[in-house]
Structure 1
Amino acid sequence: MTTLVTAALAAQEAAVVPDTIRKWVQLGHLAPAGRRGRAHLFRLEDVFAAERATRRAHERRRGD
């Protein structure tokens, strides 16, 4: 069984702020894997994949 985490814990694990997790969801880079009440829950592997993808896109835009 895959462990699901809150946006706050996902942000902590990916070394970003919780607003970044919400932004990734809004932009379609990350999809919630479940809910606990009103809170979205995420798989850490999805969070890390979104972080890698957004970092690569950012680096391409900057020309790094």
Structure 2
Amino acid sequence: MLAPTLIPGPLAAAEAGVAPATIRKWVQLGRLAPAGKAGRAQLFRLEDVFAAERSARPRTAPATLRG
């Protein structure tokens, strides 16, 4: 089994369509945990970043069917 690819915060932010500060805020709030470090840089699994992004989205009411 392959090890997951770890990416730095700024790249993770770009992939998720958010600002790097948002990634840092998610870590601070406990919504996202770094999967590793490279020097001082935190590294993340992309699937974890996407999961945090999905959980941060506002929930919308389901559309009703009109007939």
TM-score for the superposition, normalised by structure 1: 0.87
Larger Rg over CA atoms? 2
Unaligned runs of 5+ in 2: 62-67
CA distance in 2, matches of 1:40, 1:26: 13
Match of residue 27 from structure 2:
25
TM-score for the superposition, normalised by structure 2: 0.83
Q: More helix by proportion, 1 or 2? A: 1
CA distance in 1, matches of 2:56, 2:19: 14
- How many residue pairs align between the two structures? 59
Could you list the runs of 4 or more consecutive aligned residues of structure 1 that deviate by over 2 angstroms after TM superposition? Answer: none
Match of residue 52 from structure 1:
54
Unaligned runs of 5+ in 1: none
Q: Name the % identity.
A: 68
3-state SS in 2 of match to 1:52: helix
3-state SS in 1 of match to 2:34: coil
RMSD after superposition: 1.1
